[in-house]
Structure 1
Amino acid sequence: MASKDRIQRLKDETRINILDASLRIAIEEGWQSLSMRKIADAIEYTPPVIYEYFNNKEAILLELTRRGYLILSKDIQAARNKHDLPASQLEAMWLAYWDFAFANQELYQLMFGVQINCCCGVVEELPESKNPLNQFREVILSLMNSANPSPDVICLKYYTFWSVVHGLISINILKRGYSDEMNNQVLKVAISDIINSIAKAT
């Protein structure tokens, strides 16, 4: 049993090493430079070994996308837990979303297809990709509790938030943004205005 456990542990470590190496290559050279051979060279294995763990490069990208959503969900939840009022929670959660995007820029690009081809249909099937949406929906519902909103209305409010925040992130990833001061001002004003509009509607 000990031998089987050790073998499984080594397999798990190799799988993590493949994913970590893939992300390092993307950070250093861009996603367009990623290849199975480069990954193999980075961890000093032969390419056939990589294929024992992942069928192709797309499978690696999908697993890294899953990792990105798990990290994002954890960050959003941590931000929410610091506050009691829904309005404060929403602001903190969207600021955490913003911080995640730039602390993990390559993962964010992969998750949302910013400057990289995204198999969005496949990504949408990942259970983890639904986590941020569900987390935000819960708080939006709390903020709108007295209005008894329909799921479509909650989705609209979420999409309004996301369109603004994701749009501003994408602009900056594409190097078309302005100063950090202006970004922060636009971000906070937009979030605050949407929160206020929801609160007034209830």
Structure 2
Amino acid sequence: MSWLNVKHATYLDPWIRVPLMWPEPGLEDVEAAQSPQAWARIFAEAWWEDFATEKPRPGEVELLTDILVMHANRAPAICPGFDVFLHLPHPRDIPITVFVDLLEIEEEDCDTALRELTHADADYAIEPPIVEKFDSPHLGTGLRVLRYFQDEDSNEVHAGLRYAWRYESGSEAADVLILLSHPEPGRIIRAFPDIDEFARTIRISPDEEADTWKSA
């Protein structure tokens, strides 16, 4: 059996992995893994130190801490079971929440499945989605789909981005999905290089590597 390996994405800047439970299993002695508040405070301070050329104004570390706590509490419930990452290139930016998971195959035809997973033919999009093949060194060729849609609550135009692949190895088969959306379309467009790099780090690893955090 194999597992979805997102470990390498944790080494990329400017990405933050959001733990799915507290304290995080196996990290009971790590302060940042004990609670959303501890995790958020540590990362808020680190992000201002690492990604800002200026010092934070009064209250800005606390503001980012509150934003991260909100994401830690809410994001895992949006797509239960998905791994969750935040794209945050500057501590004053609004994070992009990215979800990643390995899915049981529901549609046998690969092309049809990838189009369904990426919403390549979404009838709710305000213009035809931009559908492109996307190559991964670990997952092969999949699809990347960018679409624009109107939010039902605010009527604002949002951007959504999805990546999908069919993974097959011997008797094992599954679909891999990455999804995200944002109320500021330009924010996703500017983040494209980082998101593409992130997507190309995702891989499927054999069970024997499950306990090796830095396995290739």
Same fold per TM (> 0.5)? no
Q: TM-score when scaled to structure 1?
A: 0.28
Q: TM-score when scaled to structure 2?
A: 0.26
Question: When you count helix as a share of all residues, which structure comes out higher?
Answer: 1
Higher RCO, 1 or 2 (CA under 8 Å, sep at least 6)?
A: 2
User: Which one has a bigger Cα radius of gyration?
Assistant: 1
Question: When you count strand as a share of all residues, which structure comes out higher?
Answer: 2
